[in-house]
Structure 1
């Protein structure tokens, strides 16, 4: 039996010369302590509108619903692979379009991406506000909720009431002639039928044949009792979608349709989050955070600005350390495809040379523990019978010198498996998964083209 390591320990943003030991002894009899990320800790500008809402794991005990149908580890990895294929396909298509000097087209097929998403927030929609529990996704373009009326077999069951646009005094459908409808691009689905009805339609297709589609609309989004976003654009879905207790999806990507872009005048295109582990208390999603010149406590790296990278947040990775030692022989060309930071993918994908070097060093450091087959991940350990396990620290370095130590073992191991995989050949697109991001405050500041990683357990340095 694989032992699911829950114990977490404090990490810190590291600099050259720090942390010479490079290993952490983990008691296997302990569970991970509750993540301390109940509030954003980023420096805020004075007189700047900010808001923070709780964020929880949808399969954890703090989810808005009680559920026993947690996906198995194998199923989680299957969904992770589907999302990974989708992300790399979209990113590679953008790169190919750039090489061919053709217009970039964002495909509407996004695979099984929704089922792989793990974190939810609760917001209000309409006037009066109707509670909606929505998935959080930094890799999505269009926000949507399931709407009434919805015929039998067209909608999936959900915990909260369906959003009924006829009961909202601030709701309005977008006409086909509107700029908002044109901005949908590949997600547009023409207009509704009827001579007196030109409502804009949207559609998002999934690989299993289901679809999220309906009327592209506008209404008031309520984040807290005093924080709202007026004329928020979203999809009012009436068609079949993947099953789940959630009510919809909140898109935090970089395209004009996302919440980040829509509310940029209010929150200046900046947000941060802390992603808790499955069994931890809530984390947070904060909008409106913005970095001052004083960014003490955050490891900062430039954010890619090419429109070919939309809707993703792309940074450049430059190195990896295992057990306090830098992996040698890794050329920067191996990371030329960039690294997408993704809230929905579980396992981090690295280019082949980088992954093989990491795997070799990690296996050498974990040599006292027997490897066991898994079928999806190739570096898994049977830790049964060990009271303590010595785990090497893993540090990732990004352009600009930003270096972070991943949480040990919660940010490195899941069910005894190293949470990294091969994304393909050198120069392929890498993806930073959410396990590596746990217990960080991850900051996205599009106005300054920066991404920051800040400590949650450790004090600001």
Structure 2
């Protein structure tokens, strides 16, 4: 049986050891108690703890609030905020299983403050073809930009040698539609971002979908009508935030050896809610046909894996 290559994500878990206690009585459910202190990241970055095999595709996966994160100069959420965000993700999964539609009326104002992008792990990839112009002047602090550039270089994504524009994506295993902010993108309704904005009009490989195309008619609940015969999409997340714009295809490049031609994604021109300026969009790894996993199924076998160091090395 031939081996199927998998999309391998190197998870940088530079955390303290996680002491746990398992409790269970006869014929009862088993519970695992985790010390809250074990969720706090270490104070210093010790670098990668594992070396990925040479015969797989991999990218570093950074926890945004860990010591090795390119976003480490941002304020770290409290443990209560992290747990609340986890609960929102669980609620979102339950909502999808029950086919409910999220609505702002069902959420309190405090729920609205926990945004989809705030605490997710991030990866870097280039979007666009070889003709895309060089990056514009970045927004945000110079230290934050240096941190992001260093993380991208660790993944082999060097702006000087790869086509397109470097983008920072939140990795989300609970959603299906990948998207990135695209010009024109006035602020608001778009959110400010550290990365240069992707401009589909200046990428030779960019291609919109017509409203009658199979891709557009197959969007289902993510379809959002038609503008100038271009397919439109909209995604609403469990916390009430949303993104909308054109649905297009373009080249997605992780490194010099791994690129996804004609990658389908949302070209976001408007958002509702407060999104994090440290990310340009979301790289969805859900089970739907629009996700990165489904689009690369013939190459990666619709499989991805986390590499999590043992607790002694974490």
**Could you state the TM-score of these two structures normalised by the residue count of structure 2?**
0.67
Q: In structure 2, what is the Cα distance between the partners aligned to 1:260 and 1:237?
A: 20
Q: Pairwise mapping of residues 16-415 of structure 1 onto structure 2 (< 5 A)?
A: 34=46, 37-40=49-52, 50-91=56-97, 93=98, 105=99, 107=101, 114-115=116-117, 117-128=119-130, 129-192=164-227, 197-206=228-237, 209-241=240-272, 242-244=274-276, 245-274=278-307
Poorly superposed stretches of 4+, deviation over 3 Å:
30-42, 105-113, 206-210, 455-458
Identify which range, 263-272 or 223-232, moves more after superposition: 263-272
Q: In structure 1, what is the Cα distance between the partners aligned to 2:235 and 2:279?
A: 17
Judge conservation of contact 2:120–2:172 (CA < 8 Å) in 1.
no
The CA deviation at 1:247 is: 0.8
Q: In structure 2, what is the Cα distance between the partners aligned to 1:171 and 1:65?
A: 29
Cα separation, partners in 2 of 1:190 and 1:9, compared to 1, 3 Å:
closer
Q: In structure 2, what is the Cα distance between the partners aligned to 1:255 and 1:6?
A: 32
Judge conservation of contact 1:123–1:133 (CA < 8 Å) in 2.
yes
Q: Deviations over 1:60-93 (max 9, x none)?
A: 33333452322222222222222222212222x1
Which has the greater radius of gyration?
1
**Could you state the TM-score of these two structures normalised by the residue count of structure 1?**
0.47
Judge conservation of contact 1:40–1:52 (CA < 8 Å) in 2.
yes
Task: Report SS of the residue matched to 2:255.
Answer: coil
The CA deviation at 1:224 is: 0.4
Judge conservation of contact 1:108–1:204 (CA < 8 Å) in 2.
no
Judge conservation of contact 1:86–1:113 (CA < 8 Å) in 2.
no
The CA deviation at 1:268 is: 2.0
Stretches of structure 2 lacking an aligned partner (at least 5 in a row)? 1-13, 21-37, 108-113, 131-163
Cα separation, partners in 2 of 1:217 and 1:37, compared to 1, 3 Å:
farther
Cα separation, partners in 2 of 1:246 and 1:31, compared to 1, 3 Å:
closer
Q: In structure 2, what is the Cα distance between the partners aligned to 1:178 and 1:108?
A: 27
Q: Deviations over 1:367-393 (max 9, x none)?
A: xxxxxxxxxxxxxxxxxxxxxxxxxxx
The CA deviation at 1:10 is: 11
Task: Report SS of the residue matched to 1:87.
Answer: helix
Q: In structure 2, what is the Cα distance between the partners aligned to 1:127 and 1:185?
A: 28
The CA deviation at 1:120 is: 0.4
